[in-house]
Amino acid sequence: MKKNEGFFINGNFFPLMELKNSTLQNILEIFLKKEIKKKFAVAVNEKLVPKEMWKNKKIFHNDKIEIVYPFKGG
């Protein structure tokens, strides 16, 4: 693994470190910790990933993960 390999969460870069063969579920659990129980939607590279697919969705170098939370109002 190269030193500058990593992925993005909401525009912020994170190194892959030792997370080879990481899944979206692993990454969300590590980076969101307690917030994992809240309702939110996740897209990887601008494609929505249903919650039931998080544990099988592999994350690769330069993937862009976007996490959005619902809010009241309009």
d(CA 38, CA 45): 22
- The per-residue pLDDT for range 10-21, each reduced to its tens digit, is 999 988 766 667
- The per-residue pLDDT for range 20-65, each reduced to its tens digit, is 678 999 999 888 876 666 788 999 999 999 999 999 999 998 999 9
Q: Tell me the C-alpha to C-alpha distance, in Å, between residue 66 and each of 2, 9, 28.
A: 23, 6, 11
Predicted confidence band of residue 5 (pLDDT cuts 50, 70, 90):
confident
Cβ(1)–Cβ(16) below 8 Å: yes
**Cα angle 34-20-40, degrees, rounded to a multiple of 5:** 30
**Sign of the torsion angle spanned by Cα atoms 50, 52, 56, 59:** positive
- The yes-or-no verdict on residue 7 having pLDDT over 60 is yes
Provide the CATH topology of domain 6-68.
Answer: Ubiquitin-like (UB roll) (3.10.20)
**pTM for the whole structure:** 0.81
